[in-house]
């Protein structure tokens, strides 16, 4: 019963978040090919998920960030929960246009996991001091999630008194929820302010 209540509460908050200035859609996808399945078998021994090294330790990401899910309990589809936050930035506003895509995992030219056929997409904007959270249906694993934010902003360029000159899109958090509401894994948590 506790899991059901948590799922209902999460879904309710996400419906509220996506109801304003956002667009989301979903489709179906084909099963993974043999090369992807071989990659999954290699990664299963290490971890069920793989986070993008472009996401800094403090949770801030630039223009692009990615998340790969290689396995789930029973290899079942579920929901990708993606939180995009600028709550830690209270300086001058520079609106970011966000696109979240979920889809089949495929191998890129560099033989690394990347986004294949897209099954779900959300588009919205993010401003200073905002946190937006979205629940997107996933295909069965392996699947991939990509977040793209343009334009980025640099704290130092917007406020010369700051020393942090990195280019930020937002702080991004990924997690996977089974259909019964139990979380499986998460990346860095939004909340750390840019360094002075």
Residue among 107, 102, 132 at smallest CA distance from 117: 102
Give the domain ranges of the chain. Answer: 2-186
User: Residue 82: CB partners within 8 Å, gap ≥ 6?
Assistant: 100, 122, 133, 134, 136, 145, 147, 172, 173, 174
In tens digits, the chain (196 residues) has pLDDT values of 444 444 444 443 433 344 334 556 544 444 444 444 444 444 444 445 655 667 888 889 999 999 999 988 888 999 999 999 999 999 999 999 999 999 999 988 988 889 999 999 999 999 999 999 999 999 999 999 999 999 999 999 999 999 999 999 999 999 888 877 666 654 444 455 676 5
pTM: 0.73
Report angle CA 187, 79, 118 to the nearest 5 degrees: 95
Query: CB under 8 Å to 178, separation ≥6 — which residues?
Result: 72, 73, 76, 78, 184
Q: Cα–Cα distance between 18 and 70 in angstroms, integer? A: 27
Q: Which two tokens stand for residue 26?
A: 């979903």
């Amino acid at each position: 019963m506790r899991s059901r209540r948590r799922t209902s509460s999460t879904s309710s908050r996400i419906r509220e978040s996506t109801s304003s200035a956002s667009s989301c859609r979903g489709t179906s996808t084909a099963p993974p090919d043999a090369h992807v399945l071989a990659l999954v078998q290699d990664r299963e021994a290490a971890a069920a998920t793989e986070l993008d090294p472009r996401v800094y330790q403090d949770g801030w990401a630039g223009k692009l960030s990615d998340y790969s899910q290689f396995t789930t309990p029973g290899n079942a589809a579920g929901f990708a929960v993606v939180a995009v936050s600028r709550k830690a930035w209270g300086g001058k506003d520079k609106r970011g246009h966000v696109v979240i895509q979920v889809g089949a995992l495929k191998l890129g030219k560099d033989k690394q996991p990347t986004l294949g056929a897209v099954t779900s997409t959300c588009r919205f904007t993010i401003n200073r001091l905002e946190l937006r959270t979205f629940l997107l249906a996933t295909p069965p694993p392996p699947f991939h999630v990509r977040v793209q934010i343009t334009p980025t902003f640099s704290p130092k360029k917007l406020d010369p008194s700051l020393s942090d000159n990195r280019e930020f899109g937002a702080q991004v958090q990924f997690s996977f929820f089974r259909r019964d509401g139990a979380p499986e894994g998460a990346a860095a948590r939004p909340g750390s302010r840019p360094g002075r």
